[in-house]
């Protein structure tokens, strides 16, 4: 019987199937006439689908123990992808974050090569806060300054190693961001190969864009930070960041030269492991509530863990639980850790991970670290941060 439907070349159907045309055309069982009616196409397509499924099933390899490793490296989200998504179309912020991750990679590489290159030891100078400067302090500082100033999106930089803020004067090379950073936190441990890190916080300037930034653009509470993070250089190089909605953890794959997503960081709501971390060598200078708190932790069976690198101690606290303390004392009435590039970024990360942060008794009152108003770019504040279970115990003793 004559078919009244519009004839359709079968090859047009194959074109719809895209990548499957060649293998199917090559099989002997498919040698249809050059032209068929549309009613026949449906059954032909169904046969093609079945044959395609058979061919694909025949090409699948058996799973092995290396599959999870390979799949993670191929399928894991990269830091660059995450930055593009999280910057929500803000190209300048994406550029800034890519410059920061690049600085972290270069610093990590410099640390790895420090021994053979003769870069251990003191540089023979002191930094803005009176600390002895290591050779790697200077190198890390140069790396961060170069990466950020060349990004074209920064207007002002504050480094622990620089006494004064660095203002980008050239209108063609400056942007809306003010960045405070400690290029190499814990560098006193670098010569004995203990984990160290970099810490940073980012503000968006408030002064008019047609003029250079001023220190007032960055001397603001931590609640106004738009991005904060730290990079830890240890057995692996990891970069931890927050845009103000959770904390994300990335690890650098040295073979790829790329940070790959590991996990979201969230502190155990029950408090996690019972660990307290502080420099008990300063205990004779502490006030009564801090002394009592540490004694209570010991009586409750807490373990003492203290590296002496804030990045390492806080990183462990976020992952395992417990509390980190660097309180004010009789010798350092404001504490020792700097507000803009140590206290603020670590407090924001801790709170975003579900923990708590406090200054303890500071300036006559108990306060939140992020609400401190820095008086100058290297200002300091006391630090008490960790899980709510342990931080609340310390604050209760102040309230008595």
CB 214 within 8 A of CB 206: no
Q: What is the 3-state secondary structure (H, E, C) of 66-132?
A: CHHHHHHHHHCCEHHHHHHHHCCCCHHHHHHHHHHHHHHHHHHHHHHCCCCCCCCCEEEEECCCCCE
Between CA 180 and CA 339 the distance in angstroms is 10
Catalytic residue (one of 48, 96, 157, 184): 184
Is 131 annotated in the active site? Answer: yes
Is 67 annotated in the active site? Answer: no
Of 281, 266, 271, 269, the residue nearest 393 (C-alpha) = 271
Between CA 140 and CA 124 the distance in angstroms is 16
Catalytic residue (one of 141, 185, 329, 351): 185
Catalytic residue (one of 93, 96, 182, 351): 182
Q: CB within 8 A of 273, min separation 6: which ones? A: 303, 320, 321, 322
First to last CA, the chain: 100
Q: Which residues are paired to 202 by β-bridges?
A: 179, 227
Residue 375 sits at φ, ψ, to 5 deg, of -90, -30
Is 161 annotated in the active site? Answer: yes
Is 182 annotated in the active site? Answer: yes
Catalytic residue (one of 160, 217, 329, 356): 160
Q: CA-CA distances (angstroms) from residue 48 to 25, 35, 53, 55, 220?
A: 10, 17, 9, 10, 66
Catalytic residue (one of 342, 351, 356, 390): 342
Is 137 annotated in the active site? Answer: yes
Is 142 annotated in the active site? Answer: no
Catalytic residue (one of 137, 217, 238, 258): 137
User: Which residues are catalytically annotated?
Assistant: 131, 137, 160-161, 182, 184-185, 342
């Amino acid at each position: 019987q004559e078919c009244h439907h519009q004839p359709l070349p079968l090859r047009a159907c194959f074109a719809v199937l895209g990548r499957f045309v060649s293998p199917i055309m090559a099989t002997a069982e498919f040698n249809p006439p050059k032209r068929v009616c549309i009613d026949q196409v449906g059954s032909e397509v169904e046969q093609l689908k079945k044959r395609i499924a058979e061919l694909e099933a025949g090409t699948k390899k058996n799973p092995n123990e290396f599959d999870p490793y390979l799949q993670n490296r191929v399928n894991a989200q990269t830091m660059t992808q995450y930055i593009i998504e999280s910057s929500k179309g803000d190209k300048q912020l994406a550029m800034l974050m890519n410059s920061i991750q690049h600085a972290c990679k270069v610093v990590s590489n410099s640390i790895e090569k420090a021994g053979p290159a003769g870069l251990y030891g003191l540089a023979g100078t002191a930094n803005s806060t009176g600390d002895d400067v290591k050779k790697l302090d200077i190198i890390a500082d140069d790396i961060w300054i170069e990466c950020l100033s060349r990004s074209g999106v920064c207007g002002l930089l504050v480094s622990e190693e620089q006494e004064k803020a660095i203002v980008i004067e050239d209108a063609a090379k400056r942007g809306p961001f003010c960045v405070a950073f400690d290029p190499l936190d814990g560098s006193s441990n670098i010569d004995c190969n203990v984990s160290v890190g970099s810490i940073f916080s980012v503000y968006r300037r408030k002064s008019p864009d047609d003029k250079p930034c001023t220190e007032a653009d960055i001397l603001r509470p931590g609640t106004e930070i738009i991005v904060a993070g730290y990079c830890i250089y240890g057995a692996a190089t990891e970069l931890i960041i927050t845009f103000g909605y959770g904390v994300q953890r990335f690890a650098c794959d040295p073979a790829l030269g790329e940070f790959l997503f590991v996990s979201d960081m969230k502190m155990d709501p029950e408090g996690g492991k019972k660990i307290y971390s502080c420099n008990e060598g300063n205990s004779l200078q502490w006030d009564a509530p801090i002394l009592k708190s540490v004694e209570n932790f010991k009586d409750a069976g807490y373990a003492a863990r203290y590296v002496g690198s804030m990045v390492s101690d806080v990183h462990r606290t976020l992952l395992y639980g417990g509390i980190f303390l660097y309180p004010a004392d009789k010798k350092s009435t404001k504490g020792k850790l700097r507000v803009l590039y140590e206290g603020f970024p670590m407090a924001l990360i801790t709170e975003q991970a579900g923990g708590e942060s406090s200054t303890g008794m500071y300036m006559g009152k108990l306060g939140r670290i992020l609400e401190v108003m820095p008086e100058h770019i290297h200002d300091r504040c006391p630090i008490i941060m960790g899980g709510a279970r342990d931080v609340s115990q310390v604050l209760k003793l102040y309230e008595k």
